[in-house]
Protein backbone atom coordinates (compact mmCIF):
# COMPACT_ATOMS: atom_id res chain seq x y z
CA UNK A 1 0.00 0.00 0.00
CA UNK A 2 1.25 3.47 -0.84
CA UNK A 3 1.62 5.82 2.12
CA UNK A 4 -0.22 9.10 1.70
CA UNK A 5 1.83 12.26 1.27
CA UNK A 6 0.57 15.79 1.94
CA UNK A 7 2.77 18.65 0.72
CA UNK A 8 2.20 22.35 1.29
CA UNK A 9 3.29 24.62 -1.54
CA UNK A 10 3.75 28.03 0.03
CA UNK A 11 4.31 29.70 -3.37
CA UNK A 12 5.36 33.38 -3.02
CA UNK A 13 4.25 33.80 0.57
CA UNK A 14 5.77 34.17 4.00
CA UNK A 15 8.32 36.11 5.95
CA UNK A 16 10.58 35.11 8.81
CA UNK A 17 8.06 35.93 11.52
CA UNK A 18 5.03 34.37 9.80
CA UNK A 19 6.97 31.24 8.86
CA UNK A 20 8.13 30.83 12.43
CA UNK A 21 4.60 30.84 13.77
CA UNK A 22 3.17 28.70 10.94
CA UNK A 23 5.88 26.07 11.30
CA UNK A 24 5.72 26.02 15.09
CA UNK A 25 1.96 25.53 14.96
CA UNK A 26 2.31 22.72 12.39
CA UNK A 27 4.96 20.95 14.40
CA UNK A 28 2.77 20.96 17.46
CA UNK A 29 -0.46 19.98 15.65
CA UNK A 30 1.20 17.12 13.73
CA UNK A 31 3.64 15.77 16.29
CA UNK A 32 1.45 12.82 17.19
CA UNK A 33 0.52 12.02 13.57
CA UNK A 34 2.47 9.19 11.99
CA UNK A 35 0.07 7.55 9.57
CA UNK A 36 1.08 9.66 6.54
CA UNK A 37 4.02 11.76 5.32
CA UNK A 38 4.00 15.57 5.49
CA UNK A 39 6.14 18.27 3.89
CA UNK A 40 6.24 21.99 3.14
CA UNK A 41 7.88 23.49 0.04
CA UNK A 42 9.03 27.00 0.89
CA UNK A 43 10.65 29.88 -1.06
CA UNK A 44 14.42 29.38 -1.48
CA UNK A 45 15.23 32.15 0.99
CA UNK A 46 13.49 30.26 3.79
CA UNK A 47 15.06 26.83 3.27
CA UNK A 48 17.55 27.59 6.01
CA UNK A 49 14.76 28.55 8.40
CA UNK A 50 12.71 25.47 7.46
CA UNK A 51 15.71 23.27 8.13
CA UNK A 52 16.35 24.92 11.50
CA UNK A 53 12.74 24.54 12.62
CA UNK A 54 11.81 21.18 11.07
CA UNK A 55 14.93 19.02 11.46
CA UNK A 56 14.09 16.11 13.74
CA UNK A 57 10.30 16.50 13.33
CA UNK A 58 7.92 14.37 11.26
CA UNK A 59 7.55 17.18 8.67
CA UNK A 60 9.94 17.30 5.70
CA UNK A 61 10.72 20.39 3.66
CA UNK A 62 11.66 21.27 0.14
CA UNK A 63 11.86 23.89 -2.60
CA UNK A 64 9.51 24.97 -5.37
CA UNK A 65 11.82 24.75 -8.37
CA UNK A 66 15.42 24.00 -9.38
CA UNK A 67 17.52 24.99 -12.35
CA UNK A 68 18.07 22.66 -15.29
CA UNK A 69 21.76 23.59 -14.95
CA UNK A 70 24.22 22.42 -12.35
CA UNK A 71 26.40 25.56 -12.25
CA UNK A 72 27.72 28.37 -14.43
CA UNK A 73 26.72 31.75 -15.81
CA UNK A 74 22.99 31.52 -15.11
CA UNK A 75 22.26 34.60 -13.03
CA UNK A 76 19.53 34.11 -10.39
CA UNK A 77 19.27 30.37 -10.93
CA UNK A 78 19.42 27.95 -8.00
CA UNK A 79 20.70 24.42 -8.56
CA UNK A 80 19.31 21.23 -7.11
CA UNK A 81 22.62 20.51 -5.38
CA UNK A 82 22.45 23.93 -3.65
CA UNK A 83 18.96 23.07 -2.46
CA UNK A 84 20.16 19.68 -1.23
CA UNK A 85 22.58 21.45 1.14
CA UNK A 86 19.60 22.54 3.24
CA UNK A 87 18.56 19.02 4.17
CA UNK A 88 15.53 19.05 1.88
CA UNK A 89 13.74 16.01 0.64
CA UNK A 90 11.51 17.39 -2.13
CA UNK A 91 11.61 19.84 -5.04
CA UNK A 92 8.48 20.81 -6.96
CA UNK A 93 9.15 20.88 -10.70
CA UNK A 94 6.97 22.01 -13.59
CA UNK A 95 4.27 23.71 -11.54
CA UNK A 96 1.74 25.27 -13.92
CA UNK A 97 2.56 28.72 -12.51
CA UNK A 98 6.19 28.19 -13.56
CA UNK A 99 5.17 26.71 -16.90
CA UNK A 100 3.06 29.82 -17.58
CA UNK A 101 5.34 32.50 -16.13
CA UNK A 102 8.56 31.18 -17.69
CA UNK A 103 7.12 29.48 -20.72
CA UNK A 104 8.57 26.25 -19.41
CA UNK A 105 8.31 23.29 -21.79
CA UNK A 106 7.90 19.63 -20.87
CA UNK A 107 11.48 19.07 -22.03
CA UNK A 108 12.87 21.80 -19.79
CA UNK A 109 10.87 20.50 -16.84
CA UNK A 110 12.26 17.00 -17.54
CA UNK A 111 15.82 18.38 -17.47
CA UNK A 112 15.06 19.96 -14.10
CA UNK A 113 13.67 16.65 -12.85
CA UNK A 114 16.96 15.02 -13.91
CA UNK A 115 19.07 17.51 -11.93
CA UNK A 116 16.87 17.00 -8.86
CA UNK A 117 17.21 13.23 -9.05
CA UNK A 118 20.98 13.48 -9.57
CA UNK A 119 21.16 15.53 -6.37
CA UNK A 120 19.43 12.75 -4.46
CA UNK A 121 16.20 14.69 -3.93
CA UNK A 122 12.65 13.65 -4.79
CA UNK A 123 11.04 15.66 -7.58
CA UNK A 124 7.35 16.45 -7.29
CA UNK A 125 6.62 16.68 -11.00
CA UNK A 126 3.44 18.61 -11.75
CA UNK A 127 1.16 17.86 -14.66
CA UNK A 128 -2.32 19.05 -15.56
CA UNK A 129 -4.45 20.61 -18.25
CA UNK A 130 -5.71 24.17 -18.59
CA UNK A 131 -9.40 25.07 -18.63
CA UNK A 132 -9.31 25.43 -22.43
CA UNK A 133 -7.76 21.99 -22.80
CA UNK A 134 -10.26 20.58 -20.31
CA UNK A 135 -13.19 22.07 -22.22
CA UNK A 136 -11.77 20.89 -25.52
CA UNK A 137 -11.63 17.32 -24.17
CA UNK A 138 -7.85 17.09 -24.64
CA UNK A 139 -6.88 16.71 -20.95
CA UNK A 140 -5.53 13.17 -21.27
CA UNK A 141 -3.51 13.99 -24.32
CA UNK A 142 -1.89 16.97 -22.59
CA UNK A 143 -1.11 14.97 -19.46
CA UNK A 144 0.19 12.06 -21.53
CA UNK A 145 2.75 14.34 -23.22
CA UNK A 146 3.80 15.74 -19.84
CA UNK A 147 4.29 12.22 -18.46
CA UNK A 148 6.11 10.95 -21.54
CA UNK A 149 8.61 13.79 -21.09
CA UNK A 150 9.87 11.97 -18.03
CA UNK A 151 9.16 8.30 -18.83
CA UNK A 152 10.88 8.63 -22.22
CA UNK A 153 12.82 11.90 -21.91
CA UNK A 154 15.18 11.01 -19.07
CA UNK A 155 18.46 9.19 -19.70
CA UNK A 156 18.23 5.51 -18.70
CA UNK A 157 20.58 5.92 -15.74
CA UNK A 158 18.65 8.97 -14.48
CA UNK A 159 15.35 7.11 -14.80
CA UNK A 160 16.85 4.17 -12.91
CA UNK A 161 17.98 6.53 -10.15
CA UNK A 162 14.54 8.16 -10.11
CA UNK A 163 12.97 4.75 -9.51
CA UNK A 164 15.36 4.19 -6.62
CA UNK A 165 14.84 7.60 -4.99
CA UNK A 166 11.19 7.94 -5.94
CA UNK A 167 9.39 10.52 -8.00
CA UNK A 168 6.10 12.03 -6.96
CA UNK A 169 3.66 13.03 -9.69
CA UNK A 170 1.24 15.84 -8.83
CA UNK A 171 -1.87 16.02 -10.97
CA UNK A 172 -2.94 19.64 -10.74
CA UNK A 173 -5.66 20.61 -13.20
CA UNK A 174 -4.88 24.28 -13.84
CA UNK A 175 -8.57 25.20 -13.66
CA UNK A 176 -8.74 23.85 -10.11
CA UNK A 177 -5.74 25.75 -8.76
CA UNK A 178 -6.77 28.63 -6.53
CA UNK A 179 -10.27 28.61 -8.05
CA UNK A 180 -12.13 27.05 -5.14
CA UNK A 181 -13.38 24.45 -7.62
CA UNK A 182 -11.52 21.20 -7.04
CA UNK A 183 -11.75 18.26 -9.41
CA UNK A 184 -14.38 15.79 -8.26
CA UNK A 185 -13.01 12.64 -6.62
CA UNK A 186 -13.97 10.62 -9.71
CA UNK A 187 -12.32 13.10 -12.10
CA UNK A 188 -9.14 12.93 -10.01
CA UNK A 189 -9.26 9.12 -9.76
CA UNK A 190 -9.81 8.78 -13.50
CA UNK A 191 -6.76 10.90 -14.34
CA UNK A 192 -4.56 9.34 -11.65
CA UNK A 193 -5.38 5.86 -12.94
CA UNK A 194 -4.60 7.02 -16.46
CA UNK A 195 -1.21 8.38 -15.31
CA UNK A 196 -0.41 5.15 -13.47
CA UNK A 197 -1.29 3.23 -16.62
CA UNK A 198 1.14 5.35 -18.66
CA UNK A 199 3.92 4.64 -16.18
CA UNK A 200 3.03 0.92 -16.13
CA UNK A 201 3.78 0.78 -19.84
CA UNK A 202 7.39 1.55 -18.96
CA UNK A 203 7.66 -0.23 -15.60
CA UNK A 204 4.80 -2.07 -13.89
CA UNK A 205 6.40 -2.31 -10.44
CA UNK A 206 7.35 1.34 -10.44
CA UNK A 207 3.79 2.27 -11.47
CA UNK A 208 2.45 0.45 -8.41
CA UNK A 209 4.86 2.23 -6.10
CA UNK A 210 4.87 5.76 -7.48
CA UNK A 211 2.87 8.34 -5.54
CA UNK A 212 0.43 10.36 -7.59
CA UNK A 213 -0.91 13.22 -5.51
CA UNK A 214 -3.69 15.67 -6.34
CA UNK A 215 -3.51 19.48 -6.20
CA UNK A 216 -6.09 22.18 -6.86
CA UNK A 217 -8.37 23.67 -4.20
CA UNK A 218 -7.99 20.78 -1.79
CA UNK A 219 -9.41 21.83 1.58
CA UNK A 220 -10.29 20.17 4.89
CA UNK A 221 -13.83 19.79 3.49
CA UNK A 222 -13.07 17.86 0.31
CA UNK A 223 -9.83 16.14 1.39
CA UNK A 224 -11.39 12.93 2.71
CA UNK A 225 -13.36 12.30 -0.46
CA UNK A 226 -10.39 12.99 -2.74
CA UNK A 227 -7.87 11.10 -0.60
CA UNK A 228 -10.15 8.05 -0.37
CA UNK A 229 -9.77 7.42 -4.10
CA UNK A 230 -7.64 4.36 -4.79
CA UNK A 231 -5.06 6.15 -6.94
CA UNK A 232 -4.96 9.48 -5.10
CA UNK A 233 -1.89 9.10 -2.90
CA UNK A 234 -1.93 12.51 -1.28
CA UNK A 235 -2.32 16.21 -1.86
CA UNK A 236 -0.34 19.24 -3.00
CA UNK A 237 -1.89 22.13 -1.14
CA UNK A 238 -1.62 25.84 -1.97
CA UNK A 239 -3.90 28.26 -0.15
CA UNK A 240 -4.75 25.94 2.73
CA UNK A 241 -1.03 25.33 3.35
CA UNK A 242 -0.77 28.89 4.68
CA UNK A 243 -3.11 28.10 7.56
CA UNK A 244 -1.79 25.76 10.24
CA UNK A 245 -5.35 24.75 11.08
CA UNK A 246 -6.37 23.90 7.52
CA UNK A 247 -3.12 22.24 6.54
CA UNK A 248 -2.91 20.10 9.65
CA UNK A 249 -6.55 19.05 9.21
CA UNK A 250 -5.79 17.81 5.69
CA UNK A 251 -2.70 15.99 6.98
CA UNK A 252 -4.72 14.33 9.73
CA UNK A 253 -7.44 13.29 7.26
CA UNK A 254 -4.75 11.72 5.05
CA UNK A 255 -3.54 9.64 7.98
CA UNK A 256 -7.09 8.61 8.91
CA UNK A 257 -7.94 7.55 5.36
CA UNK A 258 -4.81 5.38 5.32
CA UNK A 259 -5.72 3.79 8.63
CA UNK A 260 -9.28 3.06 7.49
CA UNK A 261 -7.96 1.29 4.44
CA UNK A 262 -5.47 -0.69 6.51
CA UNK A 263 -8.26 -1.77 8.85
CA UNK A 264 -10.38 -2.78 5.88
CA UNK A 265 -7.51 -4.84 4.57
CA UNK A 266 -7.03 -6.58 7.89
CA UNK A 267 -10.74 -7.05 8.64
CA UNK A 268 -11.94 -8.15 5.28
CA UNK A 269 -8.86 -9.70 3.84
CA UNK A 270 -9.95 -8.29 0.53
CA UNK A 271 -8.65 -5.57 -1.75
CA UNK A 272 -8.39 -2.35 0.24
CA UNK A 273 -10.04 0.90 -0.72
CA UNK A 274 -6.67 2.61 -1.00
P1 LIG B 1 -4.54 25.74 -4.25
O2 LIG B 1 -4.59 24.68 -3.17
O3 LIG B 1 -4.46 27.14 -3.71
O4 LIG B 1 -5.61 25.56 -5.26
O5 LIG B 1 -3.14 25.55 -5.01
C6 LIG B 1 -2.80 24.29 -5.46
C7 LIG B 1 -1.41 24.33 -5.95
O8 LIG B 1 -1.11 25.01 -6.91
C9 LIG B 1 -0.41 23.57 -5.21
O10 LIG B 1 0.78 23.49 -5.93
Domain that residue 122 falls in: 5-273
Distance 179 CA to ligand 1 centre (A): 9
What are the pLDDT tens digits along the chain (274 aa)? 899 999 999 999 999 999 999 999 999 999 999 999 999 999 999 999 999 999 999 999 999 999 999 999 999 999 999 999 999 999 999 999 999 998 899 999 999 999 999 999 999 999 999 999 999 999 999 999 999 999 999 999 999 999 999 999 999 999 999 999 999 999 999 999 999 999 999 999 999 999 999 999 999 999 999 999 999 999 999 999 999 999 999 999 999 998 877 666 556 545 444 3
Q: What digits encode the pLDDT tens for the residues 222-259?
A: 999 999 999 999 999 999 999 999 999 999 999 999 88
- The DSSP 8-state label assigned to residue 135 in this structure reads H
Q: Which positions are catalytic?
A: 95, 172
Q: Which residues line ligand 1 (CB under 6 A)?
A: 9, 95, 172, 177-178, 215-218, 236-240
Structural domain count, the chain: 1
Residue 126, strand partner residues: 170
| pLDDT on residue 273 | 41
| pLDDT on residue 148 | 97
The answer to whether 7 and 124 have CB atoms below 8 angstroms apart is: yes
Q: How many CB atoms lie within 10 A of CB 209?
A: 14
- The DSSP 8-state label assigned to residue 52 in this structure reads H
CATH code (residue 108): 3.20.20.70
CA-nearest residue for atom 7, ligand 1, is 238
Cα distances from 167 to residues 86, 93, 199, 235, in angstroms, run 19, 11, 11, 14
Atom of ligand 1 nearest to the CA of 96: 8
Q: What digits encode the pLDDT tens for the residues 73-93?
A: 999 999 999 999 999 999 999
Q: Is the pTM of this model over 0.85?
A: yes
Amino acid sequence: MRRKLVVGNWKLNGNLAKNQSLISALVSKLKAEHAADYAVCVPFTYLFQAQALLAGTNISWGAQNASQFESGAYTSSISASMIAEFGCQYVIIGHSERRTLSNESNQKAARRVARVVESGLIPIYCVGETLEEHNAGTSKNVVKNQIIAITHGLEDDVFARAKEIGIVIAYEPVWAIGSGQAATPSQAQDMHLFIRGLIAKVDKDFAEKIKIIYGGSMTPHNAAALLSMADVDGGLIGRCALSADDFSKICIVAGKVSQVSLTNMADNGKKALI
